Chains A and B, each alone.
Chain A
Amino acid sequence: MRRYLRSLPLLATAVASVVIAGCGGSSSSSSSSTSTGSTAAKNGGAVTVLEVGGGVLSLDPGYWYYQTDYTDLYQPTQRALYGFTPQAASPVPDLATSQPILSNGGKTLTFHIRPGVHYSAPLASRTVAAADIKYAMERCFAAGVGNGYAFSYFNRIVGAPSKPTTTVPSVSGITAPNASTLVITTTVPVGVLTVPNALALPCTVPIPQDYAAKYDTGAQSTYGMHQVFTGPYMISGAGTGTVPSSGYQTGKLLALVRNPSWVKSTDPIRPAHFDTITFKGGNDITVASQQILSGQSLMSGDFAAPPPAILKQGLTSSQKSQFQIAPSGGNRYIALNTTVKPLDNVNFRRAIAAVLNRNALRLTRGGPAIGTVATHFLPPQNPGFQQAGGTAGDPANDFYANPNGNVALAESYMKKAGYPTGQYTGPPLLTIADNEPPAANTAQAVQSQLGQIGIKLTFREVPHATMLSKYCEVPKAAVAICPTLGWGRDFFDSQSFITPLFYGPNIIPSGNSNMSQVNVPALNTQMQAAEQLTDATQRASAWANLDKEITSQVYVVTWLWDNEVGFHSTNVNGVQWPFNGNDWDLTASSLK
């Protein structure tokens, strides 16, 4: 039955085994199939993407933050100030005409807006103006939109609210002096704006204020159901101004057709080969995987990898060419709550890191095909990865030296932690894990391995949504170990990897991502300084140093650098999108 559990909880599953909102990077797709876009891409045709979860969480561009949102809606149907092509390692101008023009020591950023970009019906005669992007960014501060990153990345814009507002605020630091110019002023230089990574996020998708304002009143914005599109595709039937059920049914269906208002010559990012793209949600993962491999015109959706049995069958047969495996730029880790004894003792944490058999953990998800055993926190393709130790890791971290685990070493760390026999003798540690495979299997493997140094767990498996919203993300719940967690970057900059998880002031009473509850003043200061660096090389070094410290302190046990295993039918040419964890770029993919 758990096989079907995966296909159901709409909110939960979208987050389930998929690393959250991956982000741009170099397209070093170590794929075993045709390389991205080098075969003649056929124009036209229809493709269906089979999804296991409920698909997108919201139609509102201001809400999009998850990998599925980006793949299904963001890239195909909307354009933003900046974007990422499958080959880009840094943001590429989309609605902006160039990289930001900096002045005032990097605190003023000026953008010119590309002319002649039309909205879809019912605003087909209108073109994108700077004021529309201003409004879009402002509404990301409103509680009714529910945006999850505005306060992390836009908080230093002059006049930005410090907490969510009940109505869409007016932010003085974002101005549109004329229709084709946008100016953003910040209080200090912000690295993720000067290299406009944060401006490639959907908050800069243009939204005309006079059209949208009526939907943005009330407790929850309804703009998503009435949005206008700027991308090559739009939701089927939405030209009337309202998304019909033939175009979108929550959890079941999302149908995209070509947007007649989109002009290819204005769009440097999206080739847009398909004629229609249909997303079907709520499928069973095994059945869907089989259908994709043996059918036609199908692609894998929101699952990071097929079940191990299918993976094996696929990779050991001629179906191998239908797979594309590339690092997702994300990792999987086990959070150790440093406020729960004895996890406040660094040697105890190192003992845990030493005893875990990371190869066996990886086997629960499908073995070497689904990822690389991790030796430090930052995954490959993130700036600072090499400086932090690369693939081999820092030799000083002997607890990560043996990927099969090292019980003797673990016991020696236990002795240093104050357990003279090398075995744990304290009370059981509260551990909350995901109850769906493969995460459930990973958790049970962790439980079994920790038993080798005598660590007993109060072990509970709960649904994914419960694990996060009631336990692991709630400091008051005082959960000692959360073994089934993963993280992905927001964009090609390691700030989004480290700050949410290890910055002290980021600890909040619910929805907390800093599950280890790390609040070390020296580290906090170090992170603040790193955030303000504007030079790419300096940033890489700074965040690498933070990675080294975090890894050495074992606030979390990082055990895997994830791969995204995408696969498709034989007549499909899938192009992976490193910006989004190597999920598909459906505007670059095509039929063969």
Chain B
Amino acid sequence: MAKYIIRRLLWVIVLLFLVSLITFVIFYLLPSADPATLRAGRQPNPAVVAQIRHNLGLDKPWYTQYFNYMKALVLHFNFGYSYTNNVNVRTLIFDRLPATISLTVGAAILFLVLGIGVGTISAVRRRSKFDRAAMGTALVAISAPVYWLGLLALFVFAKDIGKVPIFPGASSYVPISQSPTKWFTSLLLPWIVLAASFAAIYARLLRANLIEVMSEDYIRTARAKGLSERRVIYHHGIRSAITPIVTAAGLDIGVLLGGAILTETVFNIPGIGRLAYDSILAGDLPMIQGTVLLGAFFIVIMNLVVDVAYAFIDPRVRYS
């Protein structure tokens, strides 16, 4: 097992290298803005622009630029400086990370609880009114765009503009260090909106899997042994049916940690997603590299975590 993990970790490093290379090529070859001109201020002297270009190292060939970037990254963990505002990329990213983590963790707890709960009840009471209603709602939740649901939610529930003002509106996020209560209430609506679609998927998935599992032989054996229905379901049934959910949740959380762009946008939460989006539009290559690498890192790490967790959950899986 240890050897497997080490092998996978090495591959993670290779992957991240490749991701950074591809990102660099895409945005270098097809940049969307000229950082030197942006930095130079209004009506710049051409010599000023040339000087800035030289300062930023933009007049060097692309492989030299890439090499310099990687050198700084690997040796000093230095992600460089943003083109648009001369801020240390690493500082800004770690500044924004708590907001994204807050959003992700809260939503994850919510969608796991909701998804697994609803899925289980639906499977156990299939064809009941609850089942039909739940699955119907789930279908709608996965069919609607998350940002539309967000806008609708704001339209109805936001304190400043909503018809039924219960929740704080967009732009009300504050860091937990500033005010835990405000932090919590400002994230409630985003958590619900973000969790809704995931919960729907997991509910459907778990329901389908659980139904399948419950018809297997060993479940029948367990029942025949005289175990209570509750024990049968929770101890044997869910334990088997849950593995795909674990995998999916792990992967989804990995993606979300890289920034839930759409949700952060609608609710104006200053997280990594919005940072990435802005930097793409501004052609801010160091910032783009930083955010993409961070996102990729979370994705591949969660991949690894999920695979390892699999080995513990499902005894049929073994890694050499």
The chain A residues found within 8 Å of chain B, CB to CB, are: 1, 4-5, 7-12, 20-21, 54, 57-58, 63, 65-66, 143, 146-149, 151-152, 163-164, 166, 219-220, 249-252, 282-284, 286-288, 290-291, 294, 462-463, 465-466, 468-470, 473-474, 500, 506, 508-511, 513
Contacts and interface: CB of A to CB of B under 8 A. Distances in A.
Given A463-B281, A466-B281, A8 B274 contact: yes
A54 B284 CA distance: 15
In this complex, the member of B32, B92, B282 whose beta carbon has the largest number of chain A beta carbons within 10 angstroms is B282
A288 B160 CA distance: 10
B47 interface: yes
Given A8-B274, A57-B85, A465-B282, 4 more contacts: A4-B265, A9-B281, A220-B55, A513-B42
B43 interface: yes
A552 to B, nearest CB: 25
A510 B39 contact: no
Contact of B282 (A11, A57, A149, A252): A11
B41 interface: yes
A4 B274 contact: yes
> 10 closest A-B pairs (Cβ-Cβ)?
A148-B41, A219-B55, A143-B51, A469-B37, A163-B47, A8-B278, A511-B44, A469-B34, A463-B281, A148-B42
A288 B171 contact: yes
Nearest to B154: A287
B40 interface: yes
Nearest to A218: B55
Given A147-B41, A466-B32, A290 B282 contact: no
Contact of B283 (A148, A164, A465): A465
B61 interface: no
Contacts of A12: 38, 84, 281-282
Interface in B90-107: 92, 95
Interface string B1-44: 00000000000000000000000000000011111111111111
Given A465-B33, A465-B38, A466-B33, A9 B278 contact: yes
A10 B85 contact: yes
A220 B56 CA distance: 10
Nearest to A281: B270
Contacts of B52: 143, 146
B40 A251 contact: no
B48 interface: yes
B51 A470 contact: no
A477 to B, nearest CB: 10
B85 A290 contact: no
B85 A251 contact: yes
A470 B32 contact: yes
Contacts of B35: 469
B41 A9 contact: no
A166 B54 CA distance: 12
Contacts of B265: 1, 4
Given A220-B55, A284-B170, A511-B49, A465 B281 contact: yes
Contacts of A163: 45, 47-48
A60 to B, nearest CB: 10
Contacts of B84: 9-12, 465
Nearest to B92: A250
B160 A220 contact: no
Given A21-B42, A250-B92, A463-B281, A11 B85 contact: yes
Contact of A290 (B45, B46, B160, B268): B160
In this complex, the member of A66, A220, A511 whose beta carbon has the largest number of chain B beta carbons within 10 angstroms is A511
B86 interface: yes
A470 B33 contact: yes
Given A288-B171, A511-B37, A65 B42 contact: yes
A291 B160 contact: yes
A164 B39 CA distance: 15
B51 A166 contact: yes
B87 interface: yes
Given A284-B170, A290-B160, A148 B44 contact: yes
A100 B41 CA distance: 29
Contacts of A149: 42-43
A283 B169 CA distance: 12
B298 interface: no
B163 to A, nearest CB: 15
A291 B169 CA distance: 11
A470 B37 CA distance: 9
B69 interface: no
In this complex, the member of B36, B171, B262 whose beta carbon has the largest number of chain A beta carbons within 10 angstroms is B171
Nearest to B172: A287
A63 B41 contact: yes
Contacts of A250: 85, 87, 92
B277 interface: yes
A252 B270 contact: yes
B161 interface: yes
B147 interface: yes
A294 B92 contact: no
A54 B85 contact: yes
A500 B161 CA distance: 44
Contact of B48 (A1, A65, A146): A146
Nearest to B161: A290
A58 B283 CA distance: 19
A8 B277 contact: yes
A469 B38 CA distance: 6
B45 A294 contact: no
Interface in B123-171: 147, 160-161, 169-171
B160 A7 contact: no
15 contacts: A4-B265, A5-B281, A11-B38, A11-B84, A147-B41, A148-B40, A149-B42, A152-B43, A164-B47, A220-B55, A287-B160, A463-B282, A468-B37, A510-B46, A511-B43
B232 to A, nearest CB: 48
A462 B92 CA distance: 25
Contacts of B33: 463, 465-466, 469-470
A508 B32 contact: no
A164 B92 contact: no
Interface string B54-81: 0100000000000000000000000000
B160 to A, nearest CB: 5
A439 B52 CA distance: 29
Given A147-B41, A250-B87, A9 B282 contact: yes
Contacts of A465: 33, 38, 84, 281-283
Contacts of B262: 1
Contacts of A291: 160
A473 B55 contact: no
B268 A284 contact: yes
Contacts of B85: 10-11, 54, 57, 250-251
A287 B268 contact: yes
Contacts of A287: 160, 169-171, 268
A500 B43 contact: yes
Given A283-B268, A469-B34, A294 B160 contact: yes
Contacts of A148: 40-44
A540 to B, nearest CB: 23
A282 B270 contact: yes
Contacts of A290: 160-161
A541 to B, nearest CB: 26
A417 to B, nearest CB: 32
A510 B281 CA distance: 19
Contacts of A508: 44-46
A468 B49 CA distance: 14
A245 to B, nearest CB: 9
A21 to B, nearest CB: 7
A273 B52 CA distance: 40
Interface in B265-286: 265-266, 268, 270, 274, 277-278, 281-283
A209 B249 CA distance: 59
A510 B37 CA distance: 7
